[in-house]
Amino acid sequence: MKTLQKGVVPMLETSNLQESIEYYKTVLGFDCEGVWPENDQPCWASMRRDEAVIMLCSRTPRSKQP
């Protein structure tokens, strides 16, 4: 069975999702394709610029490193 892999989409943790979305949009030229959940406190976002796609997620207390 042949599998087709087009690429890898990294997921980056951030301590402030809204600031990260704005940075990727205004400084790096990405578009925000969606957030989840769609309310005032999203914890995940999908960002795209041309063929490059990344996901951003909020850092949880459990994922914080010393």
Domain spans of the chain?
11-60
More reliable by pLDDT, 2 or 21? 21
CATH 3.30.720.120 fits 11-60, yes or no: yes
- Name the token pair of 35: 């957030």
Question: What is the predicted pLDDT for the residue at 63?
Answer: 55
Q: Identify the pLDDT of residue 6.
A: 76
Query: 12-56 pLDDT, tens per residue?
Result: 999 999 999 999 999 999 999 999 998 888 999 999 999 999 999
The pLDDT, as a whole number, for residue 56 is 97
pLDDT for 64: 55
Higher-confidence residue: 45 or 1? 45
The per-residue b/e assignment along 11-45, b for 16 or more CB within 10 angstroms, e otherwise, is eeebeebeebbeebeeeeebeeeebeeeeeebeeb
